[in-house]
Chains A and B, each alone.
Chain A
Amino acid sequence: MTLTSLAFYLFASVSVASAFMVIAARNPVYSVLFLILTFFNSAGLFILMGAEFLALILVVVYVGAVAVLFLFVVMMLDIDFAELSEGFLQYLPIGATVGLILLLELLLVFGASSRLADSNPLPRATPEGMTNAEALGRVLYTDHIYYFQAAGAILLVAMIGAIVLTLVKSNNPRRQNIAEQNARTKEDGVALVDVKPGQGL
């Protein structure tokens, strides 16, 4: 029990600290690396809750794909992030004050509150005698098909949006047509002209 608690607080605090560093780091590459660290810690939290499948998906998708993509983008773009974050630091004190007040209030509230609906216990992450993936698979396409499809719709919109905002349709794309190239003859490509001296073409 103590070990679990220790692990929880470790993951949680590292997660929060690295999340803070994501926005506080001056070098954007560092930011992305901190983001990856955050993901890892979150995955650790999932595992503590018994949701291994989610934890691994998080690592595979976010760390393996999204964050790495971010890293590429950040490295390729020539943006002076230091300049961008200047404003952020300028307003840090007052922002921090407000944030701190909010944090204190929330701590006060949740420290003093207990769960209301004890009669309505939170469901366990995994039902008895079932693996993570199986449990998800049982409900994802049945009970929760509505949410699942809605998420699909959201992704569709995201895809359309990405295309709409970035795809540049060229009016005259130059594509390679190998058959055409192969079918070209000397007569098609070369013309002999007899040029008289002093006249030009």
Chain B
Amino acid sequence: MFNDIGLILPELVLFLGAMGLLMLGAFSSKDATRTVDFGAIILLLVAAVLSLTQSQNGYATAFNGAFVVDGFAALMKALTFVATAIAILMSRDFMAREKLARFEFSVLLVLAATGMGMMISANDLIALYMGIELQSLALYVVAAINRDSLRSTESGLKYFVLGALSSGLLLYGASLIYGFSGSIEFAEIAKAFQPVDGQLPIAMTIGLVFLIAGLAFKISAVPFHMWTPDVYEGAPTAVTAFFAAAPKLAGMAIFLRVMLTAFPDAIIAWQQIIIFVSFASMLLGAFAAIGQQNIKRLMAYSSIGHMGFALVGFAAGTQDGVSGVILYMTLYAIMTLGTFACILSMRREGGMVERIDNLAGLSQTRPFMAACLAIMMFSLAGIPPMAGFFGKLFVFRAAIDAGLYGLSILGVLSSVVGAYYYLRIVKIMYIDAPSEDDYQPMPRELSIMAGVMAGFALLFFVYPAPLIELSNGAAAALLNGAGTDVVTGLLSRP
């Protein structure tokens, strides 16, 4: 029992910390928002470090196999927690100016991070569902946190209703799988779900479809993406920034874990779905984004498209593929947060602006912001030598090695189409004439974030080895189930 607590330490720290912060905020006589924000960031960073150190334990399960800790979980959790921390940091100025600053926001984000950690470490269907719900419920609330704005509440409601539907689908799938395999544990399911005479049991395959539908909703993959544009646009921008990064990391992580540990032998079944979903996401992300005028909406489609690219590596189903997905998601999170750092700075005298046209001539009025955003756009478009290019390179290489030529070609083509709208933003910033009054200066933490992320995206190619190494280690840990210690392995590298 005590050992179990050691394994869930990061989540425990977050959960207890969140309750502490809640008490602090509720009983503090003054407005404690800034203190709570600060505390939340510290908590998340501590949890990230804790989960990284956990990878030294190798592969271990807790609570009768409900909870698993391995190198993969350690890395993904650390990334998720850090992404959440960055989102809180970036939100502070925005929330204060929009008069949305409430200590509950950070508390909810910490609780969401707890849920994400539980998701990533889930090792059976109930733990999976619990993690997903804890995360999702917090997200529904923060989407609607600007309760005086019709768009914000509407987006929260939509997210909630559709999220409930996806939970229903997931539960239905889970109950089918439980019913036919007789177990909720991933390892047991894997044993039960074997092809018979080269034929997978069809009933379980149907259960798998429902399960995938529920999981694909979380990473907003087509056709379970419909909530994304509306929620991204309606939610306050700081919330959107959070949505675009950490939950996607966690969602992809659990998607990988479920498919690869619970259904390793059903790859021929889920691979087909992933291929379709990946293809449809890339296509929709590329085409629909072109027609957007609102930059948050555009980022929603961009995020859908990027999920499609990440799924290309997933579809390969190999260790290289998984490693590519991890790398891709990491780079994607960094690029997205950097982009949102710029979007959060689109503030004029009268308030925030969100239209792409508003960026016209930014290179003259705010050259630093324009440069950061341009780097991000180039990187998101996947133009070498930016970081985004390497992400695409790895997933496509894995897909080609796995013989998925068609998907790779379609992926490259849609990335060409996608490049159009990224480059259009650069064009608007650098070529079009500035029209309206000046932007207000970038808040300090946002400019630091944007600069750091842009620098990373720009200079990643100089020394990409550590991140690639980490991804490979995590992928090996996930696939082999062995106690691959990714972090200390990396640190002790000669």
Contacts and interface: CB of A to CB of B under 8 A. Distances in A.
A153 interface: yes
A158 B140 CA distance: 10
B206 A106 contact: yes
A161 B137 contact: yes
Contacts of B203: 109-110, 113
Contacts of A178: none
Contacts of A147: 66, 126-127, 130
A20 interface: no
A164 interface: yes
Interface string B367-392: 00000000000000000000000000
Given A150-B130, A151-B130, A154-B133, A160 B22 contact: yes
Interface in B1-45: 4, 8, 15, 19, 22
Nearest to A105: B206
A89 interface: no
Interface stretch (A30-38, A53-61, A117-125): A117-125
A154 B118 CA distance: 12
Contact of B183 (A120, A151, A156, A158): A120
- Looking at A145, A151, A153, which has the most chain B CB atoms within 10 Å of its CB? A153
Contacts of A122: 182
Contacts, number: 97
A191 interface: no
Given A150-B127, A153-B111, A160-B141, A115 B180 contact: yes
Interface residues of A, number: 29
A100 B454 CA distance: 51
B277 to A, nearest CB: 18
A75 B138 CA distance: 29
B7 to A, nearest CB: 10
B238 to A, nearest CB: 15
B66 A120 contact: no
Interface in B178-228: 179-183, 188, 192-193, 201-204, 206
Interface in A135-169: 143, 145-147, 150-151, 153-154, 156-158, 160-161, 163-166
Given A115-B182, A145-B63, A165-B144, A153 B108 contact: no
Interface string A89-120: 00000000000000001100110110111001
Interface of A: 105-106, 109-110, 112-113, 115-117, 120-122, 143, 145-147, 150-151, 153-154, 156-158, 160-161, 163-166
Given A146-B4, A150-B127, 19 more contacts: A113-B202, A113-B203, A115-B179, A116-B193, A116-B204, A117-B180, A117-B183, A117-B192, A122-B182, A145-B63, A147-B66, A150-B118, A154-B130, A156-B19, A157-B134, A160-B107, A161-B140, A165-B141, A166-B147
